[in-house]
Every structure is written in structure tokens, then in C-alpha cells.
Amino acid sequence: MRWLKRKNLLVIIPLDVILILLSYGAAYWLRYEGHINESTSRLFVESLVPLVICKLFCFYLFDLYRGMWRYTSIRDLVNVIKASFSGSLLFIGYLSVRYHFKGFSRAVLIADAVFTVMAIGSIRLCIRMFYQRGQDLMGDLPFWNKSRHDVSKVLIIGTGPLAERLLRELYGISKQPYQVLGFIDEKSLHKGMKIHGVPVVGNLEDIPYLVRSHMVDDIFIADPGLKAHRIKDLIEEHAGKGVRFKVIPSIMERIQGSVAQHLRDIRIEDLLERAPVSIDMQMVQDEIAGKTILITGAGGSIGSELARQIMIFKPACLVLVDNAETPLYQIELELSRHAQGTKVIPCIGDVRLIKGLDRIFRQHRPHVVYHAAAYKHVPMMEAHPLDAVHTNIIGTFNLAGTACKYHVEKFIMISTDKAVRPTSIMGTSKRVAEMVAQTMGGNGTRFAVVRFGNVLGSNGSVVPLFEHQITSGGPVTVTHPEVTRYFMTIPEAVMLVLQAGAIGKGGEVFLLDMGEPVKIVDLARNMIRLAGLVPDKDVKIEYIGLRPGEKLYEELLIAGEDVIDTAYEKIKICKHAKNIDEQVLYDGIEKLNLIVRDSGDSAVAVRLLERLVPAYTRQVGDVTARPATKAHEVSGADRAKKFGKDIEV
């Protein structure tokens, strides 16, 4: 009934009836050359109503009355062909039963089918052309036209479907019209050809000449296969020349809306040489769907992204735990808008308070726990070691014990590359927390650790700091010209955490493939260029020295550990990661708990950490920590020997 009440049907159906009758009449006129005798004319009139009924019925079956004509596409034209020929076949079936084809010309029926396709398809195409007439006029602008001053002159890198779609959508933007001067083909395979009247004008090497000769304002990158280093070279070459670069984002970012709507400035993660991440959606779905999932640190950058991605897999209940009410409220508000059957429960909770954890677990009975709550800021924890111990070690111990008590199926702890040969309190505390997760067990709870490096854009990341410094005119402060870090985007890291958690059987330490390490000074220079400025000219770079606890190089493996490949290219498992003296570990944690609770003696706590993690070396001043060599390797068994007797404080 809703379909019948549509007002445009009052126009569409009569128009189609007229076109059907005209096509049928034209077929008769063509066959008999305008001379139709009385008997043929009588049969013609008698067959008109059955013809219209057969064809309208097929038009309805093939959805010709559900589409919006202003958006007519090739698929719609294919449906017109199917519907027209199906209607003709249905009409032929009627004639064979009713008249046994006596008095009917087969040439008329064939011509009628062809004319119907032409008439029905043409009227829909004309309507689309009417609605897009403004776009077509702009599409006819010649490549060399420089007379218009109210448009932004654009080059599009790419000649694939994304580039073609971007061209069409750009001409539909009225607020800031664009004149697409041409396409850039990386491999020069299509040079000289045209897409909707716009030529392919060259390859990447031709861009500097085109920018100079045609005063290009914007370069839009619509080639998903273009390597990050090529983008980096382009930006570096055109820094300070007033050319703006924008990129079509990944499929996850443009899952809704148009390509042009999601066209955005190039971000620093676009310049990292990283292969796309893919996960086994079905395995993660089986791990999460219909279960109660609990996330600690849910208001943080990693915890909130975990919550967003877990929601995709439709858990029955998502319990968000954080001790900061504002970010917890914000992520709960965001997720509740798209819950679709998942119950989102925010809980004010602190992993340092075991009674509060017990209350949350007793009430909600989670099946899977993702532990992302931690103190992560290296210099800050150097100044406040007891807080690092309390949250990262005691908090993890409390949470793990509570998970075992309430028969949680799986416990996944988020760790860091700073736990490897740590030079900071933060890294050392995370290494002890890893040891807790590796040795903890009971009541069927399986524990796994996922270790990875820095994530771009996370709270405390260097990227927001650099952005603020660049916006303020500089200088951009880098600790050391040789300092390097592994980087990963937040969504990428979380996808791999979910996959690692799904394949974990218990006791593993998973390593995420972080790609190649990035020099922080190169990161700073690239961010300055992305802002359209020239490094060391428009914005200065200053070296301020390593801060307390920092080292030059980060590592993902502890000496003596080896890796095992998994079925997933970007996920590895530490082979010898469980050589831990549990008695020494838990005695040390008990003493750390007493220090935090009673004495508050930071120096004693640090000495305990040094004994629990013999690889921990404190940095003084600008001391550099380099990757371990064979001379420095200490096996897990050797470390265990050092733990032969109780720690005395």
C-alpha cells in the first residue's frame, strides 16, 4: 500500500504505458511500412491491454518502480533490458496460448522488445542527465582553461574506480567548486586517455611541471596502491609551494557516505610503510558474540577503540570500567547510540581497589576481560614510581585474581614494548604485570599478553604534541636525533589485539608486527611538511635530550625469547616467555603491596623492581639503550637462578 501511495507513480506508470504503446505501434508501422489492413489492426487493438499488463508486471518484478531515476545507473539499465525482454516473452506466451500466433508477425515482437528497451531506458537516462546537467557542464571544462578564478584547480592521482567516482562527486559540490585539470597515472599506462572528458595528463614525475604551469591548488590521492614513501616524496618536494594534499581514506573510514565527503588531509599514518591489517572475522565473532565482555581503562584511547570494535561483533553485554567519569560517560554515550541489542554498562571502578572489582565481577559475570588500564607516561612514572607499581602491578594482580575467582574464560592483557629490557619504571612495572598474567591461572581462566609499541594519536602520544607545537609556530622538540620508535594506528592495534585474543590458548605472549621503526625526527619533519611548511625554515626542530626513563631504541623481544609464527602474518608468539620463578614473583608483589600501603618508600620499591626484573637498567641523563647483543643476552633460566632465595628489603 505504501508503494501504491507514492505520488510519482501517478506520473511514472502512465508514462511507461504510453512508451509501451508507442513502441508496439512503431514496431507494427515499421513491419507493415505504414499500411496495416483491417484484420491486423483488429489484432493489434485486442493485444494492447495484455501487452501493457505483461510488461508492467515484469517492470514491477525487476524493481523498475523502486529506483530513483535521478540516480539511474548501469545496473538500472540492465534491469530495464531484463524487464523489457521478460515482458515480451510473457506476452509471446500469452499470444501462443490465445491466438497460436495466427495473424501476428514475429518481426513485430522482436522490434517491439528492442523499441521498449530504447524508450524505457532513454527516458530514465534523460531524467538523470537533467538532474546532473550542472555537473556535465563543469565536466566539459577543458584541461587548459585557466580563466576561472572561483574554482580550486585539482590533479587527481589515480585512474581507477575511486578516482572516477571522486571526479563525479567533486562536480556535485557547489560550496567549493573544483576544476579537475587531469588525472595522474603512476605507471603511465593510460596517458592521453580521458575519463568523463578529463585527460590523463602524465605520471608522478610530471607533477612538478603541471603544478608550475597550471597553478595547481590541490592534489587528491585516489590511488589506494600508492606507496607511503611515494606520498612522502611528493609532500617533501612541494613543501612550502602552497599545494594542498588530500587522500581518500581506508574503506573502514568511508564505509558510509561518499568518497568526496570523506576526502581528508593526509595524516602522518598515511606515510608509514604498513601493509593493511586483515583479521579472521569469524573467529573473533565466535569469541565475542553473545558474551559479556569487560574492558578496563575503557575511557582511554586503546580501551575506547576496543569497545568500538567489540561492538561490531554483537556481544550480549559490554561492561566499561574506568576510574575517570568523563571519558567513561563519553564512550558510553557514543556506544549506546549504536548498541543494536548489546547492553552497554559503564562502571566506575579502579583496578587498585579489589573490593570494587569484586562487586563489578559478581554483578556482571564477564566471560572475557580485556585489561587496558595502566599508567603509560614514562617520565611521569619516573617521578611517581609507587603509582606505577600500584596501578600496573598491584592493579593487574587484583584484576587477574578476581577474573580467576569468577571463572572468566579468557583474560587478555595489553602490554608494551617498553617492558622489554626496560630502562624506565613504567616499562619495568609492565614487565612485572606481564609476569603476573603469564603465571596466573585457575578455575579455567586462560591468560594471554599482547605486546606492541607506540600507537599514533593515543593519549600522551608524540603526535598531538608535535601538532600543537607546529600550530604554535614551533619549535618542535625532539629528544635525540637518533631516537626511533615503532608505531601503529589505534584501530590497527586493536584489530590485532582482538585476533590475538581469539587465538590465545593460555600463557602466550603475543607480539604484533610493528613494521619498521621510525625516526622521531623524520616523523617531526613529515608532520611539518603536512602542515604546508618547510622544516628548519618555517618551523625549527630542537633537540632537548632523552627524558628520564627513555631510551633510543625500543625492542619487542626479551633476550632469550624466540618467536613462533601464527596463521596470521602480523601476530607472533614468544617461544620461551614463561621461565619465571613464581615464588619470588609473588613474594615480591606482596612486599610491593606493603610498601604502597604502609611505608610509601619509593627507593625500596625501585630496588624490588630491579630484583624482580634483572634486565631493568635505570637511565641517568642522556644514556642510550641499544638492542641487546649476544654479550648482553640473559636467558630465562639464568634469571630464574638469580631468584633462588627470597628477596630481602
* Burial of 174 from C-beta contacts in 10 A (0-12 / 13-18 / 19+): exposed
Q: Are strands 218-221 and 152-157 parallel, antiparallel or unpaired?
A: parallel
Question: How far is the C-alpha of 577 from the C-alpha of 558, rounded, in Å?
Answer: 8
Q: Residue-wise over 519-540: b if at least 16 C-beta within 10 A, else e?
A: ebbebbbbbbbbbbbebeebbe
Per-position DSSP letters for 66-85, written without gaps between them: TS-GGG--HHHHHHHHHHHH
Q: Round to whole Å and give the CA distance between 326 and 349.
A: 13
Helices (H), 143-191: 161-170
Exposed, middle or buried, 40 (CB in 10 Å: 0-12/13-18/19+)? middle
Rounded Cα distance between 426 and 647, Å, is: 21
C-alpha to C-alpha distance for 494 and 481, rounded to whole angstroms: 30
Question: Checking DSSP bridges between strand 410-416 and strand 368-371, what pairing results, if any?
Answer: parallel
Q: Is the peptide bond before 475 cis (omega within 30 degrees of 0)?
A: yes
Q: How far apart are CA 549 and CA 623, in angstroms?
A: 10
Residue 274 — φ and ψ, nearest 5°?
A: -135, 130
Nearest CA-CA partner of 271 in 233, 219, 222: 233
3-class SS at 418?
helix
Give catalytic residues, as residue numbers. 418
Whole-Å CA distances, 129 to 40, 118, 124, 137, 164: 39, 16, 9, 11, 17
- What dihedral do alpha carbons 393, 396, 402, 408 form, nearest 10°? -150
The length of the chain in residues reads 649
Cβ atoms of residues 55 and 22 within 8 Å: no
Q: Between the CA atoms of 418, 422, 424 and 427, what dihedral angle is there, to the nearest 10 degrees?
A: 40
Locate 649 and state its grid cell. Answer: 628489603
Q: Cell 590485532, residue?
A: 496
Inter-axis angle of helices 38-46 and 48-61, nearest 10: 40
